[in-house]
Amino acid sequence: MSALRGRGLTRVYPSTAGDVTAIADIDIDIDAGELVVVRGASGAGKTTLLNLLGALDRPTAGTVWFDDVEATELDEDTLARVRRERLGFVFQSFGLIPVLSAAENVELPLRIARVPAAERDARVTDALRLVGLAGHAQQRPGELSGGQQQRVGIARAIVGRPRVLIADEPTAQLDSRTAASVIELIGELVHGEGIAAIVATHDPLVVQRADRIVELHDGRAAPTTVIESATT
């Protein structure tokens, strides 16, 4: 069973000029230990697809499943809990709180989930170790490089031990060398920790590390290659 899957995903936004279809009738499966890249031109629907798969938005039509749980049937409170327990999110803007240390930023989702203090400390230490920042736990975001800040963001995303990692343009604000190290890290986490990951990107470095590629054109998956092997 796939860790994350969508069936017939469609999202239509009303506007004064008429309905706008952001994505239409997309099927997708992502397995544990697999890195899937979504690529396409600006406006192709990449972020919309990730928002639906991450249950940050509800589809106009179609269903999203986290393992055996149909997310689109859940009420908002249950959905928030399931999302917190099963998903981790990485954003291009890092999204760190400036007044908190790296460790405190990583710890925040565990506090929200009311994880006991001793377990929080152990998980934060382990997450920072996995992203190579064990020695930077007490530094604030302003004292870290852009690449280090994104690594803190990744640590925060994985500290809850998610089944699925969702990343929207995670290298957009990084130089090529730093971006390469961040993508290497994501690949290692996916294949080493057995996390299922879906990444929206224009970055060819990310595409090179993908196990599979989803091509979007005007909100639709490519007609003959809904999911195309990255090695072909």
Does residue 211 sit within a domain? Answer: yes
HSE-up (13 A, CA, CB side) for residue 144? 28
Backbone φ, ψ for residue 127 (5° rounding): -65, -45
User: How confident is the model over 112-161, as pLDDT tens digits?
Assistant: 989 999 999 999 999 999 999 999 999 999 999 999 999 999 999 999 99
Instruction: Give Cα separations from 182 to 88, 188, 202, 211 (angstroms).
Output: 16, 10, 15, 17
Residues 207 and 170: their CA atoms lie apart, in Å, by 12
pLDDT at 34 over 80: yes
Does residue 20 sit within a domain? Answer: no
Does residue 135 sit within a domain? Answer: yes
pLDDT-derived band at 221, boundaries 50, 70, 90: confident
| Predicted pLDDT of residue 111 | 94
| Predicted pLDDT of residue 168 | 92
- Lowest model confidence (mean pLDDT) among 58-62, 209-213, 226-230: 226-230
* Domains held by the chain: number: 1
Read off the pLDDT of each residue in 95-107 and give the average, rounded to a whole number.
95
Instruction: Give Cα separations from 66 to 77, 79, 106, 154, 214 (angstroms).
Output: 16, 11, 23, 20, 19
Does residue 14 sit within a domain? Answer: no
> What is the overall mean pLDDT for the chain?
90
pLDDT at 211 over 60: yes
Does residue 39 sit within a domain? Answer: yes
pLDDT-derived band at 231, boundaries 50, 70, 90: very low
| Predicted pLDDT of residue 199 | 94
User: How confident is the model over 150-204, as pLDDT tens digits?
Assistant: 999 999 999 999 999 999 988 888 888 888 888 888 898 899 989 999 999 888 8
| Predicted pLDDT of residue 173 | 84
CATH number, domain at 195? 3.40.50.300
98 vs 228, which has greater pLDDT?
98
The residues pairing with 165 across neighbouring beta strands, listed in sequence order, are 88, 197
Instruction: Give Cα separations from 39 to 1, 7, 203, 220 (angstroms).
Output: 24, 19, 9, 11
Domain span at 168: 31-47+84-229
Does residue 15 sit within a domain? Answer: no
HSE-up (13 A, CA, CB side) for residue 214? 28
137 DSSP assignment: T
Does residue 8 sit within a domain? Answer: no
Does residue 133 sit within a domain? Answer: yes
